[in-house]
Amino acid sequence: MKPLQRAALLLGACFLLSSAVCRVNGANIPLSIVPPGGLDPTNTPQICLLTFDDTVTTTGYPVIQTVLTNHFNPNGSPIQATFFVNTDNGAWFNARLVEQLYAQGHEIGVHTMTHTTDTNTTEEEWRREIVGCRKVVSDLAQVPENEIVGFRAPYLAFSQGSFDILYEAGLRYDSSVEEATHDYGPSTNNTQFIWPYTLDNGVQQECTNGICPEGSFPGFFEVPLWVLDDIENDTMATMDQEFAEHTNWVYDDLMLLLTNNFLARYNGNRAPFGIFLHATWDYQWFVSEPWHREVINDFMTWALDHTNVWFVSTKAMLDFMEDPQTLEEAYTFPPFITSTNHHVLVPEDEVTEMAYAGIGYILSSVTPPPIWPRTTNFYTGWKMVEGGVVSNWLVGSWSDQFEGIITVSNNTDYTIYDWEAAFLVENGEVTNFYGTPFTMTNDLCTAYAYGGNMPIPPHTAYTNLGSGTNEFGFRGLWDGTNQPVIGPAQLTVYTSAMPEPAFTNFTISSSTNMAFAWNEAAVGYSIERATNLTETNWTSITTIYTHTSWTSQAPDSASPTFYRIRSVY
């Protein structure tokens, strides 16, 4: 069979993006209940997905391995699973284990940094959660950014914003929309489930958990969460939480649900079959009882005993959607050949464990950052300011406490905006850092000074003793016997900044695409619009955090509209 012709069209914006990820539009694959590429179901490989959501932990990892290591696809490759991971959800981020899963040939996808998103999450927050998660996984778990292409929304709570940002960030698919059979849509029964489809015509499912996005996302896939729908026995379940809700179920009940659903697909239209699990904590269904993983394990053995059954990663399945393979061709299809040597793992004794007081720890084969990566800092990357100085001194001390001030000097030639300062405290403990979040790691106290902190102009120093959120002093505790020693440390900023004021005007008077680009990857740019240059109330039309460019359809208007880029902080 000839592969579907792929459009492989580079969008104009790609030339301007600083990110390594650049969207390449794939084929338009409409919603369908027949296999792609005109394949007859009997000549279509039966694809099965096994996915795990949430943080990868030392609790869940060995349990997960019990169902991954003993199964092989028809071509002899180890099976592939998909992990949608968090990086800031709980007391740690074990990047080392994520790296191991990737090295074993599994797919790593995004499940947000914090697992706190919902249908009310703003576009800006989605951007930080999605792009930040991808960046942290890429930097600390060593998974190449362009291999992190999939997303599942926490609680399956997706929205317009999640889809807009997934598309903007160049991801390839969402997998958050449940697909049932009873009430809606072309999936009329469990032998005729829909296949994955691209959103050239938007999301075409019911969106029971989220808010269906409007608009078209050409070449971007939705991978439905196909429910396990055993009509004969009147049971339904999508994810493992629903297995847990059936407290009266025993091994045979679940095996019947799995096998009946599998056979419905296998003897039906061969739409993919999915098992959607969680294995982070002791109490979760998959981890809590040995028979729970036994039934999954036994089911997989049983399913793989059928001819032409494959457990592959979600993105390998999408490669198949874009380039359909017959039963015979599937054996040599490169995405179905599991790569188990993505890179050589660093020896265990070279893994760094970094503790973050009050937060948790990071385990990584690369050196973790000095500050916990969170949505408010890490997404822009780290950059040391050469020429930045932190100095500090005590302004008062008592028998059990002390107070001090920090002065942050900016010796660079440009204004710094989102900055962070660290200082050392010995024989004492900092308890308050006025108006500024801080963490204390051993003797190192680190202040976060994002959002609302004062910018520091070139070659000036910042010592704000005024009241309010910008006050930059601290209070500490000590035992009264040792004078606290406070020493200077480095100044770090997350971003360089455009010269101030950073206005650039554009005039748009036709319905062509307009594109803005600038040199530095920086946080905090607002694109504003007005109908004349003397207007005082420019309207912000978008705020950009991680880009160096922005493209939009210009308004179709005969009268000129003016645009400008303004730095914000």
Q: Which residues are near Zn ion by CB under 5 A?
A: 53-54, 154
Spatial separation of the C-alpha atoms in residues 241 and 239, rounded to whole Å: 6
* Nearest distance, CB of residue 227 and Zn ion, angstroms: 17
In the complex with Zn ion, which residue's Cβ is closer, 90 or 387? 90
Token pair recorded at residue 119 = 């249908």
CA distances from 458 to 493, 496, 518 (A): 14, 12, 21
In the complex with Zn ion, which residue's Cβ is closer, 154 or 219? 154
Asked if the bond preceding 501 is cis, omega within 30° of 0, the reply is yes
Q: Strand 438-441 and strand 444-449: pairing?
A: antiparallel
* Nearest distance, CB of residue 465 and Zn ion, angstroms: 44
Nearest C-alpha neighbor of 531 from the set 505, 513, 511, 553: 505
In the complex with Zn ion, which residue's Cβ is closer, 54 or 107? 54
* Nearest distance, CB of residue 89 and Zn ion, angstroms: 8
In the complex with Zn ion, which residue's Cβ is closer, 19 or 175? 175
Query: Are 338 and 77 in contact, with CB atoms under 8 Å apart?
Result: yes
* Nearest distance, CB of residue 209 and Zn ion, angstroms: 12
* Nearest distance, CB of residue 106 and Zn ion, angstroms: 17
* Nearest distance, CB of residue 230 and Zn ion, angstroms: 25
Spatial separation of the C-alpha atoms in residues 110 and 85, rounded to whole Å: 5
In the complex with Zn ion, which residue's Cβ is closer, 237 or 497? 237
In the complex with Zn ion, which residue's Cβ is closer, 21 or 287? 287
Residue nearest to Zn ion (CB): 53
In the complex with Zn ion, which residue's Cβ is closer, 230 or 240? 240
* Nearest distance, CB of residue 54 and Zn ion, angstroms: 5
* Nearest distance, CB of residue 63 and Zn ion, angstroms: 17
In the complex with Zn ion, which residue's Cβ is closer, 90 or 458? 90
In the complex with Zn ion, which residue's Cβ is closer, 158 or 438? 158
* Nearest distance, CB of residue 156 and Zn ion, angstroms: 9
Nearest C-alpha neighbor of 375 from the set 101, 166, 132, 547: 132
In the complex with Zn ion, which residue's Cβ is closer, 54 or 88? 54
In the complex with Zn ion, which residue's Cβ is closer, 53 or 323? 53
In the complex with Zn ion, which residue's Cβ is closer, 115 or 293? 115
* Nearest distance, CB of residue 112 and Zn ion, angstroms: 8
Q: What is the number of residues in the chain?
A: 569
Cα angle, residue 190 at apex, residues 189 and 195 outer, rounded to 5°: 100
* Nearest distance, CB of residue 153 and Zn ion, angstroms: 8
Query: Are 262 and 256 in contact, with CB atoms under 8 Å apart?
Result: no
* Nearest distance, CB of residue 154 and Zn ion, angstroms: 5
Q: Strand 383-384 and strand 401-410: pairing?
A: unpaired
Q: What is the CB neighbour count within 10 angstroms for residue 545?
A: 19
Max CA pair span of the chain: 83
Stretch (H or E) spanning 350: none
Token pair recorded at residue 264 = 């419905």
Spatial separation of the C-alpha atoms in residues 381 and 375, rounded to whole Å: 11
Q: What is the CB neighbour count within 10 angstroms for residue 241?
A: 13
* Nearest distance, CB of residue 14 and Zn ion, angstroms: 31
In the complex with Zn ion, which residue's Cβ is closer, 133 or 271? 133
Q: Strand 150-151 and strand 228-230: pairing?
A: unpaired
Q: Strand 46-53 and strand 309-311: pairing?
A: parallel
Q: Contacts by 72-77 with C-beta closer than 8 Å and gap 24+?
A: 72/304, 73/304, 73/310, 73/311, 73/312, 73/336, 73/338, 74/307, 74/308, 74/309, 74/310, 74/330, 74/331, 75/330, 75/331, 75/332, 75/336, 75/337, 77/105, 77/336, 77/337, 77/338
Cα angle, residue 484 at apex, residues 478 and 489 outer, rounded to 5°: 125
Spatial separation of the C-alpha atoms in residues 220 and 202, rounded to whole Å: 9
Tell how far CA 423 is from the center of its chain.
31
